[in-house]
Amino acid sequence: MKVRVTVGLLVAALALYFVLLFGRAVALLRTGELVGVLLGIGVLILPFIGVWTVYSNLRFGWETEKMARELAADGLLPDVSHLPRRPSGRVDRDAADAWFEERRAEVEASPDDWRPWFRLAYAYDVAGDRGRARETMRKAIELHG
């Protein structure tokens, strides 16, 4: 619940920032000078890019959470509690790699099922590859939708 409150506060702060930015853009547009108008147009575009970025990231989180609830209900949520850990708390690299290979084999066996893709995304995350984890989770979301 703490995360939702934090996200809500950040989105509210961002919305206020976008409103203030919009006001500055309008003021620049009203100058009538070429440079002011061009800067105003540029500043006007920024809130739209920001809103789209916030929405797409929130949607990603909502979809991921929804799929995690479905997997938990089916008893298929990935569990790495049995894997050995380093003193830092991260999963041991060799164990993460072996667990990752098992998840990749699941995807190869069922490439059209979103569940193995979700677990593979989690395996990428455990291995520390956040970029591939997000990319793979997008594939899971696409198959789930």
Tens digit of each residue's pLDDT (9 = 90 or more) over 35-64: 999 999 999 898 888 889 989 999 999 999
Contacts of 63 (CB under 8 A, 6+ apart): 141, 144, 145
Please check whether residue 22 is in contact with residue 44, taking contact to mean a CB–CB distance below 8 angstroms: yes
User: Number of folded domains in the chain?
Assistant: 2
Please check whether residue 60 is in contact with residue 44, taking contact to mean a CB–CB distance below 8 angstroms: no
Same domain, 63 and 13: yes
Domain-embedded: residue 85? no
Last residue of a domain, which of 43, 73, 103?
A: 73
Same domain, 9 and 69: yes
Kindly state the DSSP code that residue 89 receives in the 8-state scheme: S
Entry pTM: 0.77
Last residue of a domain, which of 45, 73, 101?
A: 73
Tens digit of each residue's pLDDT (9 = 90 or more) over 95-118: 888 899 999 999 999 999 999 999
3-state secondary structure of 30: coil
Domain-embedded: residue 83? no
Please report how the helices 114-127 and 34-73 are oriented relative to each other, as an axis angle in degrees rounded to 10: 110
d(CA 141, CA 145): 6
Range of the domain at 129: 93-144
Q: Which of 32-36, 49-53, 67-71, 129-133 has the lowest mean pLDDT?
A: 49-53
Domain-embedded: residue 88? no
